[in-house]
Chain A
Amino acid sequence: MNDLLRRLEATGRWTEDLLLSGILLALIGIATWQIVGRNLLGTSLVTGDELLRIMVLWLTLAGAVAASRADKHIAISLLDRYLAGWQLNGVRFLSHAFTAAVCGFIAWHAWAFVQTSREFEDTLLGGTPAWWLQLPLPAGFAVMTYRHALHALGFLFGRPPATPGRPKGPESPEAGDS
């Protein structure tokens, strides 16, 4: 059972990383193509600019999911510096449980937003159903809910994640996170 969970977790991480890298590379590719097309070939993808804007939103969500996984979201963190041991674990549990709840609420209402968009048959990119493109919004927040719930459980049972929560910064490589 544990083995299966571990494999599912590994697959999940791999998928998250693949999506993030794929979106970023596609963003660079399409944006450059738009410039080359417009300036040199006199043509560009009609819906290219709109697609780029939507992909920036997807990338935001993929990056935010990665930040949740590594527990590297921007935070003020003033008082927790003075705590240690079970008190620190308790505070971390509380903050992750709270974050999971907020993400859950947003995911739920984002799902309602997608449903509404589906009912009204909104379209984007010249005819594509808008809700297909909006689906990453509830999905991203749902994954973040899961990540923060997992962190919360880790702190509750005294098994905190490998990387302690600190404000973002490239200085601490995400140990064991590849």
Chain B
Amino acid sequence: MSWFMPVLVLLALLGAPLFAIIGASALWNFYQAGIDLQVVAIEFWGIAEMPILLAIPLFTFAGYLLSESGAPRRLVRLTTALLGWMPAGLAIVSLAACAFFTAFTGASGVTIVALGAILFPAMQQAGYPERFNLGLVTSAGSLGLLFAPSLPLILYGVIAEVSIEDLFLAGILPGFLMLLVLSGYSVWKNRAIRTPLGDFSWREVRGALREAAWELPLPIVVLGGIYSGTFAISEAAAVTALYVLIVDVLILREVRFRDLPRIMRESMVLVGGIMIILGVSRASTNFMIDAGVPQQLLEWVSGLVSDRTMFLVMLLLFLLALGAILDIFSAIVLVVPLILPVAQQFGVDPIHLGIIFLATMQLGYITPPVGLNLFIASYRFDRPIVDLYLSTVPFFTWLLVSVLIITFWPTLSLALL
């Protein structure tokens, strides 16, 4: 009966959890098709047959643990020592530190909470306009999601069944492009406040390096380990989690033992929230694939557009709209299986599609009405949500320019493969 789907859409808009909406749709579709509903449980059990998923809870836990330690402060000190001599240095420091941190915290909003608290007051004090500061911290909260080992990159690899190592490489140049574009805008915007934070000092760099000595091996362990072939991605995640646990709890003692259960629970609430959607979507996606939805979608799109460029324009418009209402994790799980075959028909490389998808969905974090970063920043900095809408407009515009470059210049994503 066709009345059921509109009811589900209404319930979703009214705030019912997405996993329940997807689960209900899967149960309903299989029931209508006369298939035993055990299939939903069997598909959910399929989570236990995907080895790469091990990386998700482990990296997420490590990211949450890092955000509770002194790592954000040390990261800011180190970036200040390295980049603070530039004009509008603090803005560039903020962008670089946020991007680096987001790669590890998986673009879950942790960056704004952990780094925003340090960077926002510092920028206010340095005389940057408040609206600029708010916009910068809010937009930068998801800036690093194209850098390894971010959670959305891993999840896209799982769903699209492409090499996650390749995705990690493909994200590097587009990620730097976004960072450069926003840095350029920040320098231009604040050309009146040209005062650098200070002169470049080798002594300060050495001091900051020494202080961050425990965190510095992490990127080397993760990326070096993966690309030298020493670790699989899930193994790198296990080593990272254990390393951060030992360093922050036992050696530096910045995270207390009694806080561990809370940090574990908070990080696993995010993991459980994402993976339960993945579990129930496996059933609904399989139903849609059996029902020939990707083929129908392909026929429909082929009727509308004839070449690759037009397809990419349409894809961008679709993803921008999607990002405004759906979070990045659900979007990957629900939409990628449907658009991947269509994109391939139009000659879009699956790795390039992944980078386009994530870069565009990154804009969703700061797109009204439901951009997650807007709400977190509104809560964290105690400002009305409308202030945040307005403050992020220039950053949104420049990120959109980057997304256009990323989309129409595939070499940028594929050059390092």
Contacts and interface: CB of A to CB of B under 8 A. Distances in A.
Q: Of residues B38, B112, B277, which shows the largest number of chain A Cβ atoms within 10 Å of its Cβ?
A: B38
Interface string B332-345: 00000000000000
Majority secondary structure, B binding face = helix
B388 to A, nearest CB: 13
Majority secondary structure, A binding face = helix
A74 B57 CA distance: 16
B235 A35 contact: yes
Interface string A103-116: 10110011011001
Contacts of B376: 169, 171
B54 A98 contact: no
Interface string B253-286: 0000000111011101111111111011000000
A137 B14 contact: no
Chain A interface size band reads 35 or more
A31 interface: yes
Given A31-B234, A74-B330, A113-B38, A66 B14 contact: no
Contacts of A134: 45
A76 B370 contact: yes
B380 A112 contact: no
Contacts, number: 231
Q: Of residues B17, B61, B242, B260, which shows the largest number of chain A Cβ atoms within 10 Å of its Cβ?
A: B17
B37 interface: yes
Contact of A63 (B54, B113, B272): B272
Interface of A: 17, 20-21, 24, 27-28, 31-32, 34-35, 39, 49, 52-54, 56-57, 59-67, 70, 72-81, 91-92, 94-95, 98-99, 102-103, 105-106, 109-110, 112-113, 116, 134, 137-138, 165-172, 174, 178
30 contacts: A27-B238, A28-B61, A31-B234, A56-B57, A57-B48, A60-B271, A63-B273, A63-B276, A64-B275, A64-B276, A66-B265, A66-B272, A72-B273, A73-B19, A74-B274, A74-B329, A75-B18, A78-B370, A79-B15, A80-B14, A95-B14, A98-B20, A102-B23, A106-B41, A109-B41, A166-B375, A168-B270, A169-B108, A170-B266, A172-B379
